[in-house]
Structures are given as C-alpha cells and as structure tokens.
Structure 1
Amino acid sequence: MVVVFALVALAVVSVLVTSNWYVWRRLFRDTTAGPGPVRRVGGAVIAGGWVLAVGALVAERAGAPFWLQQVLAWPGFLWLALSIYLLLALLAGEVVRPLLRRFLERRAVRRSGARPPRPGATDQERIPAATAPAEQAEPAEPGRATEPPRSPGGPQPPEAPGGPQPPEEPDSPLALPSRRLFVSRVVAGAAAAAAVGTVGYGTYGVLNGPSVKRVTVPLAKLPRAAHGYRIAVVSDIHLGPVLGRGFAQKVVDTINSTQPDLIAVVGDLVDGSVKDLGPAAAPLAGLRARDGAYFVTGNHEYFSGAEQWVEEVRRLGLLPLENARTELRHFDLAGVNDVAGEEEGQGPDYAKALGDRDRARACVLLAHQPVQIHDAVDHGVDLQLSGHTHGGQLWPGNLIAGAANPTLAGLERYGDTQLYVSRGAGAWGPPTRVGAESDVTVIELASRQA
C-alpha cells in the first residue's frame, strides 16, 4: 500500500513539474530573446504561486491561525484556478502557433515577390529571390587578372562615398528569428489574457451570490393538498477564509426571496472551526420558511468539527437531522449523516432514519453525496436531495466529478426514487466557477392527484 501511494505521489509530482515547466517555457522563455530578469521573475512567480497554494491548503487542514489562512487563501487558491486555465490556454495555443507562423511566412513571401517555399524546403531554399546572392563568377584561370563584373549597359557607376553599400532589404514584415519571437509573444499574451479573464469572470460569479433555479418534481405518493409545496435546497456554501459573513448574508437573502415552505441545507456549510467561522455563519439565523430549515452534515463538516457545528446550527435555528426523520403534514422528511462520518463512528444509518416509517407516505431524504442514492432506493425513498459535486466547479473538472458520482447535477431517476443534485451556492478552494454556475434550487413538489 505504501509503495502504491509513493508511486501515485511520484506520478502527480511529475505531472505538476512538467506542466509548470511547460507554462514557464511558453510564457517566459519563448517570449524573450535570451536569459535575463524576465525569465527569472517568471520562474519566481510560478514557484511562489504554488508555495502559496500548498500553504493555503495545509493551513486550512492543519487549523493554522485564521488570519494566516486568510492571508494565504486568496492568492493561493486563485493561483490554483489561474494555473489550470493558463495550461489549457497555452495547450490550445499549440494549434494556433503553426497557423500564425505560416500566415506571417506567406505574407513575407508576397511582399518580397518570391515564390512560396515548398513544404519541407531548406533555409537556403526559403531565401527570397530579391535577397538571394548574385550568381558566382567562374573561377579565374591561374595567372590571369580578374576584373570586376560589368553591367551589360556599360561601365559601372562610381561607388558611393564610404565604400560599397549593402543591397536594399525587401519589404519583409519579420525576419525568421523575429517571426518566431513574435508568434510566441502573441500566443502567450492571448493565453494569459484568456486565463485571467476566465478566472476573473468565474470569481465574480461566485462572489456575486447564487442564482435561483426552479425544478418541478412529481411524486406519486404526494397528496393533492401538498401540490406546489416549495423546498429551497442549498448545499456547499463553504464558508471559510475566503467566503465569509457577507457571502452568507447573500445566500440567506437569496433563499428568503423565494418564500419557500421548507429549507434544506444539505452539507458542506463550512471549512473551518466554530471558533473561526461562527461569526460568518451568524446570518443563517435569518432563514425563514413556514416549516423551518433543516441541516445534514457533509464531508467538510467532518474536517471542521461536525459535533460542534451541529450544535451551532441548532443554536442558529436550523434543525439538524442526524440519521433522523420528522413527519411533516404531507410527507416524511429524513436526513442521514455523510459517509465521511464513518471514520468517526457517525456515518449514515438508513435503518435508524427510515426503517420504521410508513411507506404509504411520500418521503424526501436529505443526503449530502449523490452516491447515497443506492441506499435510498433500497429504503423506498421517493426523492433524495444532495449536493457535493459543485457541478464540477471548474471546467473540465465536470468530467472527473461526473465519473465519480452517479449524477453530476440536476434531476435523475433511479428506479422509483428520484435524485436531485444541486451545484451548490459557494466554492471550495478557488472562489471561482467555470461552466458550473452556483445556485439555490427551489424544488416544487407536484402531486399526480392534482
């Protein structure tokens, strides 16, 4: 097991080192004419960014002083996102690079009046006709004096003062070395601009707060009187050293604006201790719904002191469902702990939460991770509400998240059980989302008897 872990770690480090060397090469080495301060500064920026990123991750998990977490988090986590899109943009630039080089080459040939070079032509063959050296004269016979060549029209004109003058260069946009440097700078500049723009826009989207998404879910067992019942689902708020009290207030305001009948907070509320993040979570006390607000743990609560956070959300007015069920007027609402709690002896217990219920009543289950759907199906749950995936958060992370979860985002059916997965309101690590907009979802239950 240790050997496998070491091999995996070595492979990861090798990929990181190779990709960062590639980014440095394309951004700094290929865009400069030779060694100098630009290359050294570029290396320092890339290395420093990763030092901050690793420091932010370690500080968060190790419970470092909260002020230190905040100092490291913003630049470190943003560098993580920026490095991803710098790499992707530069890789895309490899397609553009030869096309741009060929365009400049053809343009130079047209201006010089020479024929385009054949594919695979040598550098000697690529010299434009206008700049080609004059045809060499036949070697002189031994002992015979040579004369300077004369033009067919008569004697040569006198030389200009200062000696022979070089021939005029053709109107060429860029010589070969300059052309390569120009292409590298154009591609690097475009890649950097695209990466910064993508991360900037994705960060603005998160900090601006989640949007509202509305989904209608028909339930066969739901009575007609509950038709149109609204559940506001929010997950993955991830309050921490980056997203704080102001962000929590935006989430609360968004939820309350939907005027829900019930609020479901399905895990990953925080990334830190109650001591550090209690003030940030305080706005949750302002959540308002006719039938109350309910909470289940996510995997990040078990990194942050789950028992303390369960007590804290209870103090704020939310009702934790720790492998428990409550019977509402028209359906049962149950909640199970996250699977990460198994390491602390607090894992999900479906028998405790669902074992003795009346299966003639509709049942809605709150469970943080979509993989818990299989147990929900076995226990006759009608609808499971989950989060955890963030919808991938940073494209193309959706490919990885989609492979690791039965449903990445949205509504899907598994037998007689439906699963809805929220993309979440916040973000973990980089406060950035690309291709996975944050949301609060209003689930409107529909009765088939209506």
Structure 2
Amino acid sequence: MTCGGALLETLCTGGLTSPFRQEYAVAMGSRQQFLIIALLLHIPLFAYPILRLCQWLTLSPWQTTLILVPLFCSQIVARLYLRHANSGLLFWLRRGADLWLGVSPLLLISLLLTEIPVAAGWIAPTPAALGLLGLTGLLTLYSIANAWSPSVVKVSLESAKLRGTLRFAQITDVHIGSRTGDFLQRVMDKVNTLDMDFLCITGDFIDMPGIDGPQLAALRSCPVPIYFCTGNHERYEDLDQIISRLQNLGVRCLRSQSALQGEVQIIGIDDSEWPGQVRKELACIDIMQQRFILLLYHRPWGLGAAAEAGVDLMISGHTHNGQIVPFNLVVKRVFKRSIGLFRQGATHLYVSPGTGTWGPIMRLGSRGEITWYEVRPVGQHPHD
C-alpha cells in the first residue's frame, strides 16, 4: 500500500482507515479487540515519547496531559473524522496530524538512543530532552524538503523484440489528496521535459474522494499518451468517479486490459490484496509474444507469473521504500522486492519508491522518483 506504503498507514495509525477497520474487525470478530490492538500500537509511538520527554523536562501533570491527549488521539481523529477534509481549518488539522505521524517514529528512535546515556548519568535529562527535540526538528525539516520534489531516475534495458529505442516514464503513488494539485504540476513539469513515447501511472494516484478537474489539470499538459492502472487507494475511495475523471482528461485506464502502443503491448491489472492476482488476470489476456510486453501492476507481486506469461518488463510501486525510517526495514521484510530492478528469466521487474507521499509530506531514508525507461534493441549503443 502505502508510509511504507500502507505499512506506515497501518502500523502508525493502528490500521484506522475505513477499509482496514472493516477488514480487521471482521477478522478479529469484534470491534473491541480491534480497538485494543490499535491502542497498543499507539502506545510506543504516541504515548511513551511524550510522557518520557515531559518527565525529563519536569513538566507538571496538567501540562503533560495538555500535550499528551491531543497528540495521542490525533491519528484516530484524523483517520476517522478528518480523512476527507480538503479545505479550511479541518484540512490543516489533518495536515498537522499527518506531520505528527511522520515525526513520531523519528522522535521514538532518537529517544531510545538517548535513554542509555541518560540512565548512565552521562547527560542530564533536561539537556537530553532539548537536544533530542532539536535533532528531531532538523530531521523533520530535512524530510519535508526531501519530499518536496522527486528526482528523475533512468533505467536502461535491452530487448531483442524492439527495432527502435523505446522510451517511457513512470509515476506512481503520487497520492493526490495527501498531496496537492501544485505538487502534481511540479511532477508533470519534470515529466514533460523527458524524451518519451508514453507515460505510465501505476496506481495510488489519488487517495481521497472528490478530487476534481482543477487538482488533476496538470495531466492535460502531457504531450504523450498516459496509461493508468489502479492502486489500493483508488479502491478505497470513489473508484468509478476517479476512473471517469481520468478518462475525461484523456488518460487510458487499463483495468485488466491491454492496449497497443507502437511495438509495445501495455497491460494494466487492477490492484488486489490477493497474491495470485497477476497470474489470474494474465490468463484472461491475449498476450502478443511478438511485441514487447509491458505490465503495469501496483504491487511488486507476481514476477514469477509475469515471467511464465512472457512479460518483458513489469513496473510497480506501492512500497514507498518505507518512506520514513525505520519503516524501510519493515517493508523489506514484507516485500521481497521493495525497490529497484529485479530479473527472473527474461522478465524484468522495476519497483519504484513512489513519486509522492502518503500522509506526512516527509521522506527520510527514501527519495521520491520519476522513473525514465530507455529500452534499446540488443546491441544498439545509447548514441545510436
């Protein structure tokens, strides 16, 4: 999904987005059990750091309570009641909750590293707390700046199926809703400078209902065809309306369908939590083996099935490469292929770390990316 993709979303918020809440409540058999687990997840991230720092700063109980209660409850309120706020005061309250969601793991790690020197008496609690807050503030500012504008990353490949060089771009996990139309404009300004035959959007382009034309208008500036496959966040929101809005902007939405673009057959598969989705959907698509086969699928699952079907290149996103440390470490445990280029037989998979951000507009230990692919005929040099 997605801050580790959905990993930060589920771990930091206790899974309190509507789809996760429903799925977990059913799986556990009761809402009470779910809420207990959600609160337990909140304690290390949103209670312990605040209580410990307030203790080190010798704040009074009522001062501690005034700080603890809103910060501890922020994610529950934001995910249940503010997740659709996109204007006015409620929007900024949600943004504040999102920022705290990103800051809290940085604060927790810094605090854990500081506990030993404080316990050993090497540093007094109050200076330790002030230094820790200063360090967390600097890391936060860097993380925000790092998430501001994605880099262009080039991926070079060869294929015996091509007569001429194929160039195209990929953006993924842009998360309009968490991010604004201005961010999309910055992304498209970079995309439009690239020499490309088409643009691919591999899901989680929108993560809020009601995202309308003006917020997506930057797509109109793209001089080449745009192909889109769904991500998990589109499924969580107003999927049919999202598809309609994108189609009105000229985007070709491939929902377990294929399209021809020059020498390329482009296949897009709908996102699913089921690991067998790629195998199931590819079995229903007429794959033209004489063409270069490009598969768009949001999650980095199904490389084996893609290789068996004769896919040449599969491109995915979803993981955000953790987005904020330490979630990159967790993501690597959940997704065997979490970032970069992989190969199975004649099939390549490229996993993008994502272009935008979910929740907090922060990246630490990861970098937003616009991926630019150049696939040359075998034996052709880059300057040919």
- TM-score of the superposition, structure 1-length normalised? 0.72
Q: Residues 160-214 of structure 1: CA distance to partner in whole angstroms, max 9, x if unpaired?
A: xxxxxxxxxxxxxxxxxxxxxx7101211121112121122111222x2211111
Tell me by how many angstroms 1:65 deviates: 7.1
Contact 1:377 1:415 survives alignment (8 Å): yes
Cross-structure match for 1:286: 221
In 1: Cα distance, 2:291 partner to 2:314 partner: 15
Equivalent of 1:196 in 130, 137, 157: 137
Cross-structure match for 1:28: 54
In 2: Cα distance, 1:200 partner to 1:186 partner: 21
Change (3 A) 1:20 1:209: closer
Equivalent of 1:234 in 166, 171, 177: 171
Q: Residues 407-427 of structure 1: CA distance to partner in whole angstroms, max 9, x if unpaired?
A: 111101123311001111110
Cross-structure match for 1:256: 192
Cross-structure match for 2:118: 97
Contact 2:82 2:91 survives alignment (8 Å): no
Which ranges of structure 2 fall in alignment gaps of 5 or more residues?
1-26
Contact 1:298 1:340 survives alignment (8 Å): no
Alignment-mate amino acid for residue 42 of structure 1: T
Instruction: Give the aligned CA root-mean-square deviation in angstroms.
Output: 2.6
SS in 1 for 2:350: strand
Equivalent of 1:404 in 324, 330, 334: 334
Equivalent of 2:157 in 193, 213, 217: 217
SS in 2 for 1:50: helix
In 2: Cα distance, 1:18 partner to 1:88 partner: 10
Q: How many residues align?
A: 352
Cross-structure match for 1:172: none
Equivalent of 1:332 in 265, 269, 273: 265
Contact 2:289 2:310 survives alignment (8 Å): yes
Superposed, 1:292-311 pairs within 5 Å as 292-311=225-244
Contact 2:47 2:68 survives alignment (8 Å): no
Q: Residues 115-170 of structure 1: CA distance to partner in whole angstroms, max 9, x if unpaired?
A: xxxxxxxxxxxxxxxxxxxxxxxxxxxxxxxxxxxxxxxxxxxxxxxxxxxxxxxx
Taking only the aligned residue pairs, the percentage that are identical comes to 27
Tell me by how many angstroms 1:276 deviates: 3.8
Cross-structure match for 2:71: 49
Cross-structure match for 1:315: 248
Cross-structure match for 2:378: 448
Equivalent of 2:183 in 244, 247, 262: 247
Contact 1:333 1:364 survives alignment (8 Å): yes
Tell me by how many angstroms 1:315 deviates: 1.1
Shifted more, 409-418 versus 372-381: the winner is: 372-381
Change (3 A) 1:431 1:418: same
In 2: Cα distance, 1:411 partner to 1:434 partner: 21
Cross-structure match for 1:272: 208
1:40 to 2:62 alignment? yes
Change (3 A) 1:323 1:11: closer
In 2: Cα distance, 1:215 partner to 1:427 partner: 22
Shifted more, 305-314 versus 83-92: the winner is: 305-314
In 1: Cα distance, 2:214 partner to 2:232 partner: 21
Which ranges of structure 1 fall in alignment gaps of 5 or more residues?
103-181
In 2: Cα distance, 1:40 partner to 1:443 partner: 57
Cross-structure match for 2:100: 79
SS in 2 for 1:371: coil
SS in 2 for 1:43: helix
Superposed, 1:375-386 pairs within 5 Å as 375-386=305-316
In 2: Cα distance, 1:323 partner to 1:236 partner: 19
In 2: Cα distance, 1:411 partner to 1:30 partner: 46
SS in 2 for 1:257: coil
Tell me by how many angstroms 1:318 deviates: 1.5
In 1: Cα distance, 2:296 partner to 2:57 partner: 53
Change (3 A) 1:19 1:430: closer
Tell me by how many angstroms 1:378 deviates: 2.9
Equivalent of 1:387 in 295, 299, 317: 317
Contact 2:111 2:132 survives alignment (8 Å): yes
Alignment-mate amino acid for residue 437 of structure 1: R
Tell me by how many angstroms 1:18 deviates: 5.0
Superposed, 1:12-27 pairs within 5 Å as 12-17=38-43, 20-27=46-53
Tell me by how many angstroms 1:2 deviates: 3.0
Contact 1:321 1:336 survives alignment (8 Å): yes
Q: Residues 253-302 of structure 1: CA distance to partner in whole angstroms, max 9, x if unpaired?
A: 011112322111111011112x344321121111123xx11111111111
Tell me by how many angstroms 1:69 deviates: 5.1
SS in 2 for 1:249: helix
Q: Which has the higher contact order (CA 8 A, sep 6+)?
A: 2
